[in-house]
Amino acid sequence: MKFLEKQLHKMEPNFVKGGKWEKWNPLFETIATFAFTPKLVTEKGAHIRDGVDLKRTMIMVVLALVPCLIFGIYNTGHWGMVAEAGTRDLAYWSDMGPKFLLGLTYVLPIIVVSYGVGLAVEFLFGMLRGHSLHEGYLVSGMLIPLCMPADVPLWMVAVATVFAVVIGKEIFGGTGMNILNIALTARAFLFFAYPTSMSGDKVWMAGTEKSVDGFSGSTVLGDLATFMGDKAVVAGQEVVGTTQAGLEAITNNYSLIDSFVGMIPGSIGETSTLACLIGAAILLITGVGSLRIMASFFAGGLMMGLILNLAGGNAYLELPAIYHLVIGGFAFGAIFMATDPVTASQTQGGKIWYGLFGGMIAILIRVLNPAYPEGVFLAILFMNVMAPIIDHYVVQMNIKRRLSRLKTA
């Protein structure tokens, strides 16, 4: 490795301004900084003590996503076998090897397309602007597949990735300048551009064209759209979604522990709250994630769930508040999306309000909007836009408090 590093340093003069391969500097810088620590060091400012650069920060986030990725591959394979068999009477933890391999055939192509297309767009803009590829897409390239359904067409992933990178980031100046989460921008684009492929009357599992025990609907306890209408079909049993029978159908077919572990249909990486919490532990231990945002997001969701439980009136409103924290993309969004250091609030007090409102709005949309059954990513995108305003008012409040203390002194 030392030899390779020395060879790269010897080649560097050819790629800097005035060198014979100057136009290829973005590619050289990308390879050099990805393989080795950048040689730039801080020479002034004794207050700078952290040796972690952007590359290592992004790699830690990707590492935290690995539990969700591994479980998501297996879960996709399980529901793929359920769809092929046409029955849900398959033991979840049986045939683990074949299920994982089957899931890999669905998930791996989506990951390849996400990284391939996204990095190609990043490289194009890097060549046009004369800078190296930024490490920020290491995370976005993994988040995009994990928030997609297993059956999403690959061309849709490619189109959404181009839209998210160009419109969501590059037009604002690149990494660190975007105002919206890149992965959520890709999902939002697909949802509004191709809604029938992202939600509706399909089960979010591999092989959605096939019926499973007469079950139809969207993501069960993934997006919960199945129970938004007057009727739903669960495991071949028709139930009325606005009655106690509907509530029991939800909780009986997918228990709280099933939802927590992730043994339910849904987007590839979002079903397992347990895997998300393992990722959260990695982010918090390494100091990459924000505990204030994560905790307040969960608190806001629980608070809104309890308020809706008190209102009652139908099965959806009466679904126990704790369920809302372990179904759909709530945990995944709270841990990996809402904590995006670029688009989230930056002030310490602002992070609490940002997470609290985000969690509350997510559950509010999920329950009360019949046209939009899962409000997590929409709530986070909305809070991305509101984050600068929240920080502004937090700063103004701090200034007023300091001025009042000055006057009293």
Query: Using one digit for the tens of pLDDT, what is the confidence trace for 142-177?
Result: 999 999 988 889 999 999 999 999 999 988 887 778
- Rounded to an integer, the average pLDDT of 374-393 is 93
Task: Judge whether 76 lies within some domain.
Answer: yes
Least confident of 11-20, 189-198, 269-278: 11-20
Tokens of 367: 């329950």
Same domain (yes/no): 77, 180: yes
**Structural tokens at position 93:** 């933890």
User: Which amino acid belongs to residue 267?
Assistant: S
Q: What is the pLDDT of residues 92-138, one digit of tens each?
A: 999 999 999 999 999 999 999 999 999 899 888 877 776 666 667 88
Where does the pLDDT of residue 40 fall: very low under 50, low under 70, confident under 90, or very high at 90 and above? low
Do 269 and 193 lie in one domain? The reply is no
349 or 38: whose pLDDT is higher? 349
What pLDDT score was predicted for residue 23? 65
Task: State whether the Cα torsion 252-256-261-265 is positive or negative.
Answer: positive
Stretch 381-403: mean pLDDT, rounded? 95
The 10s digit of each residue's pLDDT in 347-382 is: 999 999 999 999 999 999 888 876 666 789 899 999
Dist CA 362 CA 89 (whole Å): 33
Is residue 17 assigned to a domain? no
- State whether 192 and 272 are in the same domain: no
| Domain annotation covers residue 328 | yes
Split at pLDDT 50, 70, 90, the class of 13 is: confident
The overall average pLDDT reported for the chain is 81
Last residue of a domain, one of 198, 220, 250: 198
Tracing tokens 């398959």 back to the chain, one arrives at 90
- Cβ(140)–Cβ(175) under 8 Å? no
Residues 158 and 276 in one domain: no
Residue 211 maps to a domain: no
In tens, the pLDDT along 214-263 reads: 444 334 333 343 333 333 444 444 444 444 555 666 666 678 898 899 99
Q: Express each pLDDT in 307-323 by its tens digit.
A: 999 998 777 788 899 99
d(CA 36, CA 29): 10
**Are 380 and 269 contained in the same domain?**
yes
Q: Which position has the higher pLDDT, 162 or 329?
A: 162
Indicate if 315 and 193 belong to the same structural domain: no
pLDDT of residue 302: 97
User: Using an 8 Å Cβ cutoff, are 342 and 178 in contact?
Assistant: yes
pLDDT at 76 over 60: yes
188 lies in the same domain as 271: no
Q: Do 298 and 332 touch, CB atoms closer than 8 A?
A: no
Structure confidence at residue 150 (pLDDT) = 87
| Backbone angle region of 31, left / alpha / beta, with phi > 0 → left and psi within -120 to 50 → alpha | alpha
- How far is the C-alpha of 319 from the C-alpha of 406, rounded, in Å? 50
Q: Is residue 225 part of a domain?
A: no
- pLDDT, residue 216, reads 40
Asked whether residue 246 is assigned to any structural domain, the reply reads no
Report angle CA 156, 157, 159 to the nearest 5 degrees.
Answer: 65
The domain tally of the chain equals: 2
Instruction: Give the pLDDT of residue 375.
Output: 84
Give a yes or no: residue 140 inside a domain: yes
Tell me if 67 is assigned to some domain: yes
Q: What pLDDT is attached to residue 357?
A: 97
What is the distance between the alpha carbons of residues 105 and 49, in angstroms, rounded to a whole number? 44
**How far does CA 62 lie from the centroid of its chain?**
12
Pick from 345, 46, 343: nearest CA to 169: 343
Whether the Cβ atoms of residue 360 and residue 304 lie closer than 8 Å to each other = yes
Among residues 152, 178, 198, the one where a domain terminates is 198
Of residues 26 and 304, more confidence is placed in 304
Q: Among 175, 198, 221, which residue terminates a domain?
A: 198
- Provide the domain limits for residue 366: 265-400
